[in-house]
Amino acid sequence: MNLDRIIAVRNNKTVFRDGDRVIKVFDNDFTKADVLNEALNQALVEETGLHIPAILEVSRIDGRWAIVSEYIKGKNLAQLIADDSGKWLDVMAALHCEVASKSVPALPKLNDKLHRKICASLLPATARYDIHNRLDAMPKHASLCHGDFNPSNITVTPDGTPYILDWSHASCGDPASDAAMTCLMFMCDGQNETAGRYLRLYCEKSGTDAEHIKSWFPIMAAAASVSGMPEKRDFYNRIATESEPDVEK
């Protein structure tokens, strides 16, 4: 394997390109079970027929676990949106709805993951208690949720086919939570107007009420506050404790 060309560096993992393959190498704090579970989750999503990179193998490289998948050649959606946001935000929202139309019951349950993350957050105990109760009151769903659905995780091939990357956070739950997380990621990057446009597009295409998606904001923000850079944690902590967080703020 050729590990000379780094294409991404993320928390505790490095992603390399080797010809027509992508090699995600995990740091030693990832156990065998962690890596095999991530590979399994992506393999399960492959079976839905969505356009995603195929898992090719799981291996060991210099004592560290690695997942090898196919390389998808194309343009990153983040750049395409920067060039023509009207067209590509619409494509992104339609793709998100396609994800939500799938069900993969064998994936981890989203609400269970969220409860664990809320417990691990640094929010005050009273805030955590309130958010746990909000989560318990949410309608139960079993749709496919990506967990990190943002433009940088979508590649559009030369023939115009969008491929969705990085399924490490995949779960089954309420798709409105996934849309909420996407809006929050835009907002965290200071793109409130884009977040508002995306929310409207997603609601139009999915038939979901915008208020229901926004009701997920504090819950998803509390869970997201567990990881990330300090300035992002500050943003998510603020959203988690606002009485009525909105994309317009």
Band of pLDDT at residue 211, cut at 50, 70 and 90? very high
Residue 234 in any domain: the answer is yes
Domains contained in the chain, number: 2
Are 104 and 215 in a shared domain?
yes
Give residue-wise pLDDT tens across range 58-97.
Answer: 999 999 999 999 999 999 999 999 999 999 999 999 999 9
Could you read off the pLDDT of 131-150 as tens digits, one per residue? Answer: 999 999 999 999 999 999 99
CATH number at residue 110: 3.90.1200.10
> Residue 5 — pLDDT band, cuts 50, 70, 90?
confident
Is pLDDT at 249 greater than 90 in this prediction? no
In a domain? residue 249: no
What tokens appear for 197 in the block?
């446009």
| Residues 62 and 175 grouped into a single domain | no
Are residues 66 and 79 part of one domain?
no
Q: How far apart are CA 143 and CA 128, in angstroms?
A: 25
- Predicted confidence at residue 38, as pLDDT, reads 96
Do residues 25 and 41 lie in contact, with contact meaning Cβ atoms separated by under 8 Å?
Answer: no
For residue 153, what are its two tokens?
């995780």
pLDDT recorded at residue 248:
59
Flag whether pLDDT at 9 surpasses 90.
no
Residue 157 lies in a domain: yes
Is residue 247 assigned to a domain? no
CA distances from 224 to 56, 85, 156, 169, 232 (A): 30, 26, 27, 12, 9
Domain that holds residue 185: 75-241
Identify the domain boundary among 54, 70, 86: 70
Same domain (yes/no): 175, 86: yes
Residue 246 has pLDDT above 90, yes or no: no
Same domain, 96 and 146: yes
Indicate if 163 and 46 belong to the same structural domain.
Answer: no
The whole-number average pLDDT for the span 103-130 is: 98
- pLDDT by residue (tens digit) across 22-69? 999 999 999 999 999 999 999 999 999 999 999 999 999 999 999 999
Tell me: do 31 and 109 sit in the same domain. no
34 with 120, same domain: the answer is: no
104 close to 40: Cβ distance less than 8 angstroms: no
pLDDT digits (tens, 9 = 90+) for 171-198: 999 999 999 999 999 999 999 999 999 9
Domain check: are 85 and 124 in the same one? yes
User: In terms of domains, do 29 and 150 share one?
Assistant: no
Final residue of a structural domain among 28, 51, 70: 70
Checking if the pLDDT of 218 tops 70, the result is yes
pLDDT given for residue 3 in this prediction = 76
Residue 14 belongs to a domain: yes
Helix axes 217-224, 110-120, angle to 10 degrees: 60
Q: How high is the mean pLDDT of the chain?
A: 95
Domain contains 162: yes
Tell whether 248 is covered by a domain.
no
In a domain, residue 186? The reply is yes
Instruction: Assign 229 a pLDDT band (cuts: 50, 70, 90).
Output: confident
* Residue that finishes a domain, picked among 15, 38, 70: 70
Does 58 share its domain with 129? no
pTM of the model as a whole:
0.94
CB atoms within 10 A of CB 191: 17
Q: For the domain that residue 51 is a member of, what is the CATH number?
A: 3.30.200.20
**The pLDDT value given to residue 4:** 67
Q: Domain check: are 121 and 192 in the same one?
A: yes
**Spatial separation of the C-alpha atoms in residues 90 and 94, rounded to whole Å:** 6
Main-chain dihedrals φ then ψ at residue 66, nearest 5 degrees: -145, 145
